[in-house]
Amino acid sequence: MKLISTAFVIKLNHKICFAEGNSSHCFDPGKVESAVHSAFYPGSYPFIHGGVATIAGALAFYLTNAHAFLDGNKRTAVAASMVFMELNGLELVFPENPDALADLIEGCAAGDLTRDYVKDWYEIHKASLS
């Protein structure tokens, strides 16, 4: 399984913010590191959060709730989780509602959704890249 690093997530936030014309600043790299570590714990098989899709869901949840960046926390969380999935041969599909992922992350950021709900959503909406 291919993992992503804390440095990658911080660079991803910078690129996302730059593309939108927003300021990019990581308040606390330790929060990003903690989020990444929590998603990938223990860091090798067997992963505590299960397979690729559920790990991606945990990553999105932890990064969203870390609030480590000045701007782009939710966009960075989604992008990081999707890159992780793509690196490991998966993608998200949710044709029934094109806003479903945005709604999921908004609910996550508002504290309305649990980590397990987000993980289950990613698992239900995964598809193999082919």
Asked whether the beta carbons of 13 and 76 are under 8 A apart, the reply is yes
Question: Which pLDDT band holds residue 6 (cuts at 50, 70, 90)?
Answer: very high
- Helix or strand or coil: residue 111? coil
Number of residues that this document lists for the chain: 130
Q: Which two tokens stand for residue 55?
A: 């790990």
Give the pLDDT mean for 19-25. 91
Domain for residue 45, yes or no? yes
Question: Is 13 among the domain residues?
Answer: yes
**Using 50, 70 and 90 to split pLDDT, how confident is the model at 45?**
low
pLDDT in tens, 71-86: 999 999 999 999 999 9
Q: Which two tokens stand for residue 115?
A: 């980590």
Confidence band, pLDDT 50/70/90 cuts, at residue 42: confident
User: What CATH number does residue 35 fall under?
Assistant: 1.20.120.1870
Domain membership of residue 18 as a residue range: 6-128
Decide if 47 is inside a domain: yes
Residue 1 covered by a domain: no
Q: Tell me if 106 is assigned to some domain.
A: yes
Q: Is the pLDDT of residue 67 over 80?
A: yes
User: What does pTM read for this prediction?
Assistant: 0.93
Q: Is residue 113 part of a domain?
A: yes
Q: Label residues 8-22 b or e (16+ Cβ within 10 Å = b).
A: ebbebbbebbeeeee
Inform me whether the pLDDT recorded for 50 exceeds 90.
no
Give the pLDDT band of residue 43 (cuts 50, 70, 90).
Answer: low
Per-residue pLDDT at 23 exceeds 80 = yes
Contact at 8 Å (CB) between 25 and 6? no
**86 inside domain:** yes
Task: Kindly state the percentage of the chain with pLDDT values over 70.
Answer: 96
Q: How many domains does the chain have?
A: 1
